Structure 1
Amino acid sequence: MLPYPALHASHSGVWIADADGCRAIGRGEAVRIAADTPVILLNAAVVGQRLGHPELSGLDLLELFAFVHPARFAVPTPKGLAAALGLATPDSDDAIAPMLRDAASALLATLGGAWPEREGAWTAAQSLFRLRWPWAPLVTAKLDKPAQAERWLFSKLPEWEDAAPRPAPRTVTIPPDAVADRLASLTGDGAERRDGQRAFADAAARAFAPRMVRDTPNLVLAEAGTGIGKTLGYLAPASLWAEHADGAVWVSTFTKALQRQLNHETARLYPNPAERRRRVVTRKGRENYLCLLNLEDALQGGFQGRAAVLAQLVARWAAYSADGDMVGGDLPGWLPTLFRRNGSTALTDRRGECIYAGCPHYRKCFIERAARDSARASIVVANHALVMVNAARGREIANRPTRYVFDEGHHVFDAADSMFSAALTGAEAIEIRRWITGPEGTARGRRRGLAARLSDVASYDEEGGRAITDAVDAARALPSDGWLARIADGDPFGPIEALLAAVRGLTYARAAKDDDAGYALETELAEPDAALVEAAGPAAAALDALIRPLVTLSRRLEALLTDGPDWMDGPARARIEGAIASLGWRSETVAAWLALIARIGGPADPDFVDWLAVDRAEGREWDIGLHRHWLDPSRPFADAVLKHAHGALVTSATLKAGGDWDVAEARSGAAHLLQPPARFEAPSPFDYAAHARVMIVTDVKRGDLAALANAYARLIVAAGGGTLGLFTAIRRLRGVHARIADRLARDGLPLLAQHVDPIDTGTLVDIFRDDPRTSLLGTDALRDGVDVPGHSLRLVVMEGVPWPKPSVLHAARRLAGGGSAYDDRIVRARLAQAFGRLIRRADDRGAFVLLGAAMPSRLLTAFPPGTPVERVTLDEAVARVSGLPSTTPIRHNATA
């Protein structure tokens, strides 16, 4: 029998179970017991939040599950854990605490035998015992020491292999009949023939025809409504072209949910798992992957306390991971959140400090393996940001794709807006300083500066050595630790901090209002004051002094590659090539900063929008800087990506963004190409008139938080859960959640909330999907990044009309895009995306409720034709939601 009790807390109460049974207790008593006695918990961060004691700790079952079953996912709820372990699902709150004890016993019993993830467990357990992991005594008591030393992690991971460069794809034409046959094989025998999907596949095939005009791809813009079957529709011609041309098609997405869906759908193409791993590769930015050198540093003492425990659990996972992806891969999204902010981001390469072949784990590196696998793959599943970064920074030129599919194409504009922008801020500047100088003062860790990373270059090449020294000296003019406090105290150090102080002063002078305390401030970079103009000159001189040695060093490294000295073996060459790429990225960044500073006191560039900003959160400043965005970011996207491609398909259910085809062409980059794109449009086949309804509630006063919370609570109760609540402001989301969570819990309706629950967004959606009684509140990330078909999502509630935030950037684009018509297009697109969460399958049914009496009738075209739309009171909306065919009677449940 386990010697420890189990504690469960929900919004409706607290229960504790031990060998004598289960009883309800108060929150205060629960905190006292947890402080005095080790207790078994499920997600200590969530339990602590519900008890009002965020630092609560204990024997967290999720940590034990991650140890026993690394790289295996379980929904982090009592129901999800019970399902993962084959236990009976508890049917009430007072049955959960005893089940947690049973779950602990089941996991510990696994350790007493042989199981697939046995290798490495004993070694990890010894390390965790030394770290005083609460589970360690129970775990080590169950594990027998292996007869032979374990092959674990660094010795267990396979090495990648280089291959000859892939030849350029052959020029082929895919017959329409072949596309139709491939689509039929993907959909399966006996599948219902969908004419819209066949037409879509035929249109998509045009993107794979031979290119006829230089610098102009065969571009296809396709708006295909939900239910058309876009994924299989474009995989049919894409897979055929990849096979016949021996080339790779890059399928780019915006959300991780679609990446997971694509990986699932490609099983139809390649049923054999080994072949699928070879043919289909997922690629993400390097900041998503575990860095083995950072992990080694963490395991050898670089991490302390709870962060060190996380490093051990991540090491267990890494030994069994398919690809080392820490963000959206097979690392459970809930694992890093269990350790709050202790270390997970430090295990990836977020600062561009990779030493490439100089790393002892280079041949086993997850990032390098993904790059090489994608060079030989048929389908590469990527994301918009990575595609644009690779193209703009000249990465992997030898394997540059010639064919792209941009799914979720309505996000291409926003992704390009982020990618091709520039920001001279304190946070960005201090990162470049650290990248160049390395650790300063008493700083610890693996971080190394330019001099340490390129010490052999400095000793071999005198001019290169001088460039490194000059760069390090110049970097000391950038902000350093404590810069925000110095600026707030009126005592900036160095020319860049002085510039940021002037930015802060002018921003507060022009943008501060009584009602914006604690939120970001911004103002146009126009008519600068004397302080800002005077600070610009020294700041520009400091940046000029920095960029010169960076450019010189890059040229010296290129010369070294050409000369090929005796000491430069293959690993050294790879390391120098990586250094050149990193130097190019930093040099481009500093050059963009110089261009931005030149704008101060000078004429405006009509291609750009420039502004000053002070970023704040909950009353605390966290960054200050100057910002520059393209007025039309589709232009650099077209130049960097589309013009180098031979064919591209841009597709989405809302591609026209609430406007017409001219809008789609303008936002996709097509307007900057020599020949016009092909267009395709197919409405959704779903019967929205019979399966959905839109209700606009007219009697919930805007700005009345109590009334808003009451409306959400009543609608969720009427629907019996299964509600996705969407907000445009985090403050209102938190306010509503605080008012209704306990009330709903008493009715057996769990409520989750983004920005409230200490759980990552992906896991929140997994929990929501798993339990039809649960509801989920969120902001933009949930408006079009959620795919929850079936009964678990039957009601979508929006707090009001999703008008765009009146920022400097929005004002400039609004002026250029037609004024109020531009706003209307944005709102229609947001409404269409939100409504699109509701009906995901032909048999789905549900309601969309907008709590906005001022909803203009002209915006109702955002909803699919035929969808019933009516303006009603809240009482009427509640009555109609209660009458939905999918609504089930309320009963007490305990899965939160």
Structure 2
Amino acid sequence: MTRRYVVIDFETTGNSAARGDRIIQIGAVAVEAGQITDRYSTFIQPGVPIPPFIEQLTGINDDMVKDAPLFEEAAPKLLQMLEGAYFVAHNVMFDYSFLQGELDRCGYSPLSMPLIDTVELSRLLLLGADGYQLGMLAEYLGLEHENPHQADSDAEVTAMLLMHLLNKLETLPLLTLERLSPFVKKLQSSLENIVSDIINEKSVFLADEETYDFFRKLALKKTLKLEQQDFNDDLESYGVSDLEQKLKTHMAHYEIRESQQKMVELVDEALHTNQHLVIEAGTGVGKSLGYLIPGVRFAKEKDRPLVVSTHTVQLQQQLLERDVPLLKKIMPFDFTATLLKGRNHYLCLRKFEHTLQDHHEDNYDTNFTKAQLIIWLTETEQGDVEELSLASGGKLFWNTVKSDANSCLNHRCPWFSRCYYHKQRRAAHESDLVITNHALLFTDLKSDSQLLPSYKEAVLDEAHHIEEVVSDHFGKETDYFTFLKLLDRLSSTESDGMLNTLRELSDLLEVPKYETYLAKWDNLFLDVKNELDDLFKQIKTICVTKAKSSRSSELTKQTLRYTKEDIESALWEPVLEMEERAKQYISDLVKPVKRLLKSFDQFEEHLTVKQKGFLVDVEGLLNDLQDEAAVLHHLLSCPLSQEVYWMEAESKGPRHAVTLYAKPVEIDQILADQFFGKKSSVVLTSATMSVKNKFSYISERLGLLDFGPLNAQLPSPFKYEEQSKLMVPTDIPLINEVDQKTFVAKISTSLYEIAKVTKGRMLVLFTSYEMLKETHSAFKSLMDQEEFVLIAQGVDSGSRARLTKNFQRFDNAILFGTNSFWEGIDIPGDDLSCLVIIRLPFTPPDQPVMAAKSEKLKAEGGNPFYDLSLPQAIIRFKQGFGRLVRSSRDKGAVFVFDRRMIETRYGKSFIQSLPKLPVSIKPVDELVEELRDWMD
């Protein structure tokens, strides 16, 4: 059946027809049988002035609409187009409700027609898109978008988007469409009849067998095994000059880099002489190839894997998608490479299959995410959640279907041969190169089961993060909501709760005495919940009444460090008594159910796969609950003198919103004994490893001193003297000299003056989220209408990658960031011309881990500031500085709004840690004039 779709876009004076806002432009495009069959567009005389913001956004002014028809005059043509059609728009409810409001005002009857929202449909079908704004989707699909925010252009692009989406829907395999059917009924878009007709038109799905793997009523993308090339074992043909020639052939703009050549030689030497190596490679050295070329060669030569570990997902993907394919082209032999992440990144197909059997779920996010995943299975080879852009509700659903050790059936699972996690593990154990992340690397270190293949050599990129990651992985934390989620999933009061299902299954199989095992469950379950509720409320009360506000976060966050001496005081007695009772209740709750689960062993041959999986899931949850109780006991008994313990609470948050933490004070001995002492050669690299051109700080912190590692500093090939400038204003007050409001007002006006010269294109780095929010607000009030596009972390929604991409889309944008924006973002070229560092990035001295490390240093005769705080801040500062110049063609200025850099004895250490570049120290207005001359 041929359907007619009419794609509508309105430009309006505001968001609500009911409040007097009016349409100023109509764009309508009709689509039939995959073709555009009709168009209609017109300006509309709104009868009210067009606000400056709308004029700025759309380019439509009062003069352009003064002679245009009224909406009443345009309505008949529009209604004629819409008759018998689907109403389609990008964010359909805005345009549809606006039209209804205008029609009502003009005396027309309400519309009633099927709707399609291309935002919803894009989120469903274009899972790899970076964002779902119309401009971003047009860029993603290569659609020409001439005049964004004008109705005719927006409607045209939305029509092309719709045709692409409908075509993709039609190409899905029959089995996938059948699985989708129950879930599309619950979406906002009227897709039910469309999907039903496609199903009826499809022939039998066997024609798709080459592309898809059909199993247990799901269609999965078939993984094609690539033929291995013949191995050329002439490793001596690996010469630097040969490789450079090949790199020139396969890389645009490749330049021979002396530092990269040196890095290849150093890594090769370290691997062949069984030494550890610490190597700082400045921005632009090309360190990925600098360690991959000798590393892969060594792995092939010794016939054992090289593990490469990174901190960020972005770098892992870059290594796998950009560097490994390039390496395969230039090396004189073939090799295999696998990316392996922690198992909760991967979808558990057994759990997902089980959730699809519930068609009665009313939650929109859950139904939508199920539909997304059904389609994703036809596209993904890895089953890795990082490939998806899940909404917050989707992330909650992911927690119920992700792979985890406690609920894995292993070889007893029908999905085992297709399991994404186990496939990646098997591939990793057969690979020459295993790419992973620091989190999994150090989880493997303390895990009983071997997650990574056995290895003797490793490269740790982004190595300045290792101390923090190891501290996290050998630490512990818990909160009330972690317990609550586990208990809710076990709940017997819910109709579909696990305990009710367990009762039904026990009754069905006639398991002896099952009611005896479950007799006290309901009462014990309530006891556990009530005890934990009271316990965490009491802990939060202690935290809020005794803590000082954390300076590193919002004012409402309270942080309280506590010790064994504290918990032995009278104040803590009720807490310890409640924790003891909660632990006992949990034990009483879990033990009989585990005995009942053991009883099912005798019925194994009568159990279906679904039933076996269910029993494993219950046992996994019980284990998780016991593990969490053990963590809570550890955190409230403070058993280890080498750990620091603290709690954090939002004073205005829920009454039990408090989190308990424990971390090792030092990790050097852990790494020395469990990692560096057991590996032949570990290469640690980053753009920021040295402090004042020395590696003693990083070597000491990571436990490397006793191993006498090789050290090297490889300078960046960029010409910082010509490409950059460091500017330090002399007239911006220190934060402790004035109140925060005065400080924010001064930095906001200074930023505004600089932005007028740079035309935006500025990244502003903060050390406090609270100050970022206040500065963003103050800057906004200074602007002339929409003079600059302000994008702020935490104020604007979206991931770091999405905010960065939005920043690059606008010519006059300013990006405000904190924490994660100090590193790992790459904005080359003219998109970024100015970097502003508001304050030197010192960790607050009362931050619990920092305070504990400082106390330990002091007790050992060290100087906490010069031996710990300063080196840490310098490495962080260098990371921030590195955001500006990302290629040999970049040029820009770095402002530091912190006079400590020029007025304190230690301030020069920051400047000494940077590449040589011109430094200007003047009042803001003089620096702005100098910047204008320099940029011109």
Q: How does 1:83-98 map to 2 (within 5 A)?
A: 83-91=139-147, 94-95=149-150, 97-98=151-152
Distance 1:706 1:441 in 2: 55
Residues 270/583 of structure 1: CA separation in 2 closer, same or farther (3 Å cut): farther
Distance 1:825 1:422 in 2: 26
Equivalent residue number for residue 610 of structure 1: 645
2:887 matches 1:838: no
8 Å contact from structure 1 (residues 794, 838) kept in 2: yes
Residues 161/687 of structure 1: CA separation in 2 closer, same or farther (3 Å cut): closer
Distance 1:310 1:769 in 2: 29
Distance 2:14 2:283 in 1: 36
Distance 2:719 2:589 in 1: 64
Residues 421/139 of structure 1: CA separation in 2 closer, same or farther (3 Å cut): same
CA deviation digits over 1:632-652, x for unaligned, max 9? 134334444444433321111
Q: Secondary structure at the match of 1:385?
A: helix
Q: Secondary structure at the match of 1:520?
A: strand
Equivalent residue number for residue 523 of structure 1: 561
Equivalent residue number for residue 539 of structure 2: 503
How far off is 1:119 after superposition? Answer: 3.5
Residues 28/252 of structure 1: CA separation in 2 closer, same or farther (3 Å cut): same
8 Å contact from structure 1 (residues 248, 380) kept in 2: yes
Q: How does 1:267-306 map to 2 (within 5 A)?
A: 267-271=325-329, 279-296=336-353, 297=355, 300-302=359-361, 304-306=363-365
2:230 matches 1:184: no
How far off is 1:781 after superposition? Answer: 1.0
How far off is 1:589 after superposition? Answer: 5.7
AA paired with 1:288?
A: H
Residues 687/554 of structure 1: CA separation in 2 closer, same or farther (3 Å cut): farther
Aligned partner of 2:801 among 742, 758, 762: 762
Equivalent residue number for residue 55 of structure 1: none
Equivalent residue number for residue 309 of structure 1: 368
8 Å contact from structure 1 (residues 183, 198) kept in 2: no
Equivalent residue number for residue 827 of structure 1: 873
Which has the larger Rg? 2
Q: How does 1:104-253 map to 2 (within 5 A)?
A: 104-110=158-164, 118-119=172-173, 123=178, 126-127=181-182, 129-134=184-189, 136=191, 145-150=200-205, 155-157=218-220, 178=238, 180=240, 184=244, 187-189=247-249, 191-209=254-272, 218-253=275-310
How far off is 1:860 after superposition? Answer: 2.7
Equivalent residue number for residue 157 of structure 2: 103
Distance 1:460 1:676 in 2: 63
2:90 matches 1:41: yes
8 Å contact from structure 2 (residues 697, 871) kept in 1: no
8 Å contact from structure 2 (residues 281, 713) kept in 1: yes
CA deviation digits over 1:558-609, x for unaligned, max 9? 9x99x9x99999999999999999988876665554444333xxxx844111
Query: Which stretches in structure 2 are left out of the alignment for 5+ residues?
Result: 16-20, 29-40, 58-70, 72-78, 98-114, 226-232, 858-862
2:423 matches 1:389: no
Residues 453/219 of structure 1: CA separation in 2 closer, same or farther (3 Å cut): farther
Distance 1:675 1:174 in 2: 33
Q: Secondary structure at the match of 1:270?
A: helix
Distance 1:185 1:230 in 2: 18
AA paired with 1:313?
A: Q
How far off is 1:282 after superposition? Answer: 1.9
How far off is 1:689 after superposition? Answer: 1.2
CA deviation digits over 1:159-194, x for unaligned, max 9? 8899xxxxxxxxxx9989847468536634595332
8 Å contact from structure 2 (residues 524, 589) kept in 1: no
Distance 2:503 2:808 in 1: 49
8 Å contact from structure 1 (residues 355, 575) kept in 2: no
Equivalent residue number for residue 794 of structure 1: 833
8 Å contact from structure 1 (residues 108, 142) kept in 2: no
Distance 2:911 2:500 in 1: 56
Aligned partner of 2:138 among 82, 89, 92: 82
Q: How does 1:381-530 map to 2 (within 5 A)?
A: 381-396=435-450, 399-431=453-485, 433=487, 438-442=490-494, 444=496, 476=525, 480=529, 493-494=530-531, 496-512=532-548, 518-525=556-563, 526-528=565-567, 529-530=569-570
8 Å contact from structure 1 (residues 547, 591) kept in 2: no
Residues 572/239 of structure 1: CA separation in 2 closer, same or farther (3 Å cut): farther
Residues 800/139 of structure 1: CA separation in 2 closer, same or farther (3 Å cut): farther
Residues 461/669 of structure 1: CA separation in 2 closer, same or farther (3 Å cut): farther
Residues 541/40 of structure 1: CA separation in 2 closer, same or farther (3 Å cut): same
How far off is 1:227 after superposition? Answer: 1.5
Distance 2:54 2:256 in 1: 61
Distance 1:610 1:644 in 2: 30
Equivalent residue number for residue 121 of structure 2: 64
8 Å contact from structure 1 (residues 699, 873) kept in 2: yes
How far off is 1:146 after superposition? Answer: 3.3
How far off is 1:127 after superposition? Answer: 4.3
Q: Secondary structure at the match of 1:791?
A: helix
8 Å contact from structure 1 (residues 9, 15) kept in 2: yes
How far off is 1:810 after superposition? Answer: 1.5
AA paired with 1:864?
A: L
AA paired with 2:255?
A: E
Aligned partner of 1:681 among 706, 710, 713: 713
8 Å contact from structure 1 (residues 413, 667) kept in 2: yes
Q: Secondary structure at the match of 1:632?
A: coil
Equivalent residue number for residue 894 of structure 1: none
CA deviation digits over 1:485-512, x for unaligned, max 9? xxxxxxxx32x55543443333233215
Q: Secondary structure at the match of 1:300?
A: coil
Residues 656/854 of structure 1: CA separation in 2 closer, same or farther (3 Å cut): closer
Aligned partner of 1:812 among 843, 852, 857: 852
How far off is 1:755 after superposition? Answer: 1.1
Equivalent residue number for residue 8 of structure 2: 5
- Paired residues in the alignment total 819
Q: Secondary structure at the match of 1:99?
A: helix
Residues 668/714 of structure 1: CA separation in 2 closer, same or farther (3 Å cut): same
8 Å contact from structure 1 (residues 266, 280) kept in 2: yes
2:727 matches 1:695: yes
How far off is 1:473 after superposition? Answer: 9.7
Distance 1:658 1:620 in 2: 46
Distance 1:580 1:394 in 2: 19
Q: How does 1:15-34 map to 2 (within 5 A)?
A: 17-19=26-28, 20-21=41-42
Distance 1:629 1:145 in 2: 59
Residues 666/114 of structure 1: CA separation in 2 closer, same or farther (3 Å cut): closer
Residues 402/627 of structure 1: CA separation in 2 closer, same or farther (3 Å cut): same
Root-mean-square deviation over aligned CA pairs: 5.1
2:320 matches 1:320: no
Residues 160/233 of structure 1: CA separation in 2 closer, same or farther (3 Å cut): same
8 Å contact from structure 1 (residues 111, 143) kept in 2: no
Distance 1:359 1:745 in 2: 63
Distance 2:401 2:10 in 1: 32
AA paired with 2:681?
A: G
Aligned partner of 1:732 among 750, 765, 771: 771
How far off is 1:796 after superposition? Answer: 1.4
AA paired with 2:247?
A: T
AA paired with 1:699?
A: D
Residues 569/479 of structure 1: CA separation in 2 closer, same or farther (3 Å cut): closer
What is the percent sequence identity of the aligned residues? Answer: 19
2:914 matches 1:864: yes
Q: Secondary structure at the match of 2:842?
A: coil
Bigger shift: 395-404 or 585-594?
A: 585-594
Distance 1:683 1:449 in 2: 65
Q: Secondary structure at the match of 1:628?
A: strand
Residues 189/160 of structure 1: CA separation in 2 closer, same or farther (3 Å cut): closer
